[in-house]
């Protein structure tokens, strides 16, 4: 296989990985908009929908980065910083006593491991200047 064939396979694999990983924020964001947190009332309910909308937007912008993924380094890095900061805040919450459930652990894995790894992979696809 030539170098161009290898890079095309890597690009396609990254695109598929971004598409699959993007399912998480899109589905979670939509879920949060239409199935708000139990016990939330009034402005809490509204704020939860807003935050879910932000999560949905993050997933959609990741998906919008799939075509031409090798040229989306700046966008993907900004999104990754946003996601990692959210993950650090979630981890801080666990350290402060929030329960560490399976959904929380999964979210932490996506925010602090999967997303940075995808960002690193994308940066390896970017043309060298």
Instruction: Show me where the domains of the chain are located.
Output: 3-125
Q: Are 49 and 33 in contact (CB under 8 A)?
A: yes
The pair of three-digit structure tokens given for residue 71, joined into one six-digit string: 């040229």
Q: Which pLDDT tens digit goes with each residue over 4-32?
A: 766 889 999 999 999 999 999 999 999 99
State the number of CA atoms in the 13 A half-sphere of 28 facing the CB.
16
Q: Which pLDDT tens digit goes with each residue over 64-94?
A: 999 999 999 999 999 999 999 999 999 999 9
Question: What is the predicted pLDDT for the residue at 40?
Answer: 80
Question: What is the predicted pLDDT for the residue at 2?
Answer: 66
């Amino acid at each position: 296989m030539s170098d161009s064939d290898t890079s095309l396979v890597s690009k396609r694999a990254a695109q598929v990985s971004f598409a699959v990983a993007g399912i998480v924020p899109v589905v979670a964001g939509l879920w949060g908009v239409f199935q708000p947190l139990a016990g939330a009332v009034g402005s809490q309910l509204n704020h939860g929908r807003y935050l879910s909308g932000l999560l949905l937007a993050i997933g959609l912008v990741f998906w919008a980065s799939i075509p031409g993924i090798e040229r989306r380094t700046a966008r993907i890095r900004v999104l990754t910083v946003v996601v990692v900061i959210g993950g650090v805040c979630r981890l801080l919450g666990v350290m402060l006593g929030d329960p560490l459930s399976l959904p929380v652990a999964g979210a932490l894995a996506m925010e602090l491991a999967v997303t940075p790894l995808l960002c690193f992979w994308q940066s390896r696809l970017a043309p060298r200047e």
